[in-house]
Amino acid sequence: MSDESFPPIFSPTRSNTHDPYGQLPWIRRIRSTKNTILSFEGRQLFPWFWPVNDRGERVTPDELNDHRLTHEFRGPGCLCASRIQAPDAFTEARIFCAESGVVTGQWVAACGRGECKYFVRLEPFYIKLGHPIRRYDRRRKSVKMIQEFFS
């Protein structure tokens, strides 16, 4: 899969929905794309690459947050960055295990602020063949070590 961007579905509209930031077309595209997780970066949607470990195996959903601490990897970008005028704006979605609702017990990526409605179930993509993967470089010093130093 290329780094090609995905356009929004339909153009922003003011009818029938309250969408002051014009995010609804992006949300529609994210929810309708079944073969890859989409990440909002630099005012566009791009495929998000699932990390693999040193053996080439996909990092499990429950290990994604730990992988962020040791590798140059970040989760998918939520749509909050669309409110920022910078061309390279990025706001990382929060990765967590849902504790309520129909996805209780499943790992998801969602807007950390709860504002933009970005929400993706991660587990179906963990097992999906053909989802783009990438081996991310290790950090020089783990973020965990840095956090422990300052606490």
What does the domain layout of the chain look like in residue ranges? 24-150
Residue 116 CA: distances (Å) to CA of 9, 23, 24, 53, 151: 16, 8, 9, 31, 32
Residues 61, 103: Cα–Cα separation, whole Å: 14
Token pair for 139: 């950090």
Q: Quick one: three-class SS letters along 71-105?
A: ECCCCCECHHHHHCCCCCCCCECEEEECCCHHHCC
Residue 8 scores a pLDDT above 80: no
The model's confidence at residue 5, banded by pLDDT at 50, 70 and 90, is low
pLDDT tens sequence across 62-118: 999 999 999 999 999 999 998 887 788 899 999 999 999 899 999 999 998 888 889
Asked whether 1 and 132 are in contact (CB, 8 A), the reply is yes
Task: Look at residue 147 in the predicted model and tell me its pLDDT.
Answer: 58
